[in-house]
Amino acid sequence: MTDNIRALTARLADEPSSLAFLELGEALRRRGQLEAACKIVRGGLSRYPDLADAHDLLGRILGDQGDLAGAFDAWADALRFDPMRSSALKGIGFLYFRAGDIHAALEHLQRAAEIDPDDESIAQALARVRAAARGTPVGPPEQAEDTFTPAAAPAPSVEKATAATSLFPGPENGDQGVMLVDGNGLRLSGNLRSPTNEDVGDRVAAELAGVSREASRTTKLLGLGAWEAIAVESPEGNLFLVAPTPHTVLLTMRDPSLPMARLGLIAERAARDARAWLGVPE
């Protein structure tokens, strides 16, 4: 037993209600003492059933043990208590990837990347899944696992992560929830899929030209200046519209669990990328 594990064990014995079980569980997991780690974390969860960190850690331990169904449940619990938990999204993305569901893997990893754009391990995992989607060889499974395992994340590289998480739907980016439309309602770039996975890009693009005109008219006549954004909440999803240039509209659509303010930040970032793609100076 290392000094660190001994110290953490002693601390937990002294204060059974402390959160030291998280540190101890992770230390045991890293040492490969998975049974002990699992026991410690489950004990902690009995005291703190709403703690997303603990569910997330349990997901990693169960994943290491090969209990993929258990890991999925644990990460799903983590997301229930903290929908913005990128490590749990990444974990579930990995499980979908392992199960061969590339679309679901991409969806989860993209959300993780939006939440945590500086996490290089997420960017790498996304690149790997996209390569798999294109049919490019992605290396042996154990290499894929290294990319996905949260503990294997190397130190973040801001430059690389930013490049890998560009949200603008250019030809190199298969984002299914971002679409750029011109002033005549024609799609310039990007895709949009309905909640039932139907391609609805062109149909929605045709309506967006009218939305942009109405928005301009409304803000102008009411003395509110130029329109900057439209946020639309719906039971099936949230939409955020911005105008990267006076003659284009960028639509970003996400699951309603993503807070609208965060969706707005994502949309603004995608709009910056769109302006660069269109060659419009900032």
**Interface residue list for another protein (CB under 8 A):** 192, 194-196, 198, 200, 203-204, 206-208, 210-211, 214-215, 217-219, 221-237, 239, 253, 260
- CB of 12 or CB of 192, closer to another protein: 192
Residue closer to another protein, measured from CB, 13 or 261: 261
- Taking the least distance from each CB to another protein, the nearer of 135 and 223 is 223
Q: How far apart are CA 150 and CA 38, in angstroms?
A: 17
Distance separating alpha carbons of residues 248 and 209, to the nearest angstrom: 8
Of 79 and 215, which CB lies nearer to another protein in the complex structure?
215
Sign of the CA dihedral running 66, 68, 70, 73:
positive
Least Å distance, CB 165 to another protein, is 24
Tokens 């290294």, residue located: 146
Q: How far is the CB of 253 from another protein (least distance, A)?
A: 7
> From CA 260, how far away is CA 263, in angstroms rounded?
5
Q: How far is the CB of 193 from another protein (least distance, A)?
A: 9
Rounded CA-CA distance 139/154 in Å is 19
Nearest CA to 89 among 78, 102, 99? 78
Minimum CB separation from another protein for residue 182, in Å? 15
Closest among 243, 231, 179, 183 to 209, alpha carbons compared: 183
Angle at 186 between CA 105 and CA 188, to 5 degrees: 50
How many other C-beta atoms can be found within 10 angstroms of the C-beta atom of residue 100? 9
Of 2 and 197, which has the nearer Cβ to another protein? 197
Residue 187 is inside which H or E element, if any?
strand 187-190
Distances (CA, A) of 2 to 59, 65, 104, 246: 24, 22, 40, 63
Nearer to another protein by Cβ, of 10 and 229: the residue is: 229
Which 8-state DSSP code applies to residue 86?
Answer: H
Q: Would you say 189 and 180 are in contact if contact means Cβ atoms under 8 Å apart?
A: yes
Of 68 and 206, nearer to another protein (C-beta) is: 206
Nearest distance in Å: CB 108, another protein: 21
Nearest approach, Cβ of residue 173 and another protein (Å): 20
Name beta bridge partners: 171.
none
By beta-carbon proximity to another protein, the closer residue of 63 and 190 is 190
State the minimum distance, in angstroms, from the CB of residue 243 to another protein: 11
- Shortest approach of another protein to residue 225 CB, angstroms? 3
Whose CA is closest to 250, among 280, 229, 234, 226?
229
